[in-house]
Amino acid sequence: MASQLPTNDVRHDVEATLAARRELGPEYDDHFIDTLTERLVQRARLEVQRTPAPHEGLTPEMRTGIAICSLIFGIPLVAIATGIASVPGLVIVCLMILGVNFAASR
């Protein structure tokens, strides 16, 4: 319903401009176009200001979830990597887990 109100306002502005043009004649077309354009630009700027900024990054709850999942999945990954590739496997898995958590914290 809130999105209908600005549309109705724009429609009203256009109708008023057209009615005034009919009364005054085509010699005022440039003035009407400039006035209508100015109103539409102002309305667009107001709508942009009202629109909330997109949320960037993860919320603290999301970061906590990633940390918990890192622990849950990290334990078997460490065991598997250590069994297959010994210390280098352990280092690789730990660096991967650290990388995921570091990327999530940014």
What pLDDT is recorded for position 7? 67
What is the mean pLDDT of the segment spanning 53-81?
88
How would you write the chain as a 3-class SS string? CCCHHHHHHHHHHHHHHHHHHHHHCHHHHHHHHHHHHHHHHHHHHHHHHHCCCCCCCCCHHHHHHHHHHHHHHHHHHHHHHHHHHHHHHHHHHHHHHHHHHHHHHC
Confidence of residue 15 (pLDDT cuts 50, 70, 90): confident
* pTM > 0.85: no
Rounded to the nearest integer, the mean pLDDT of the chain is 83
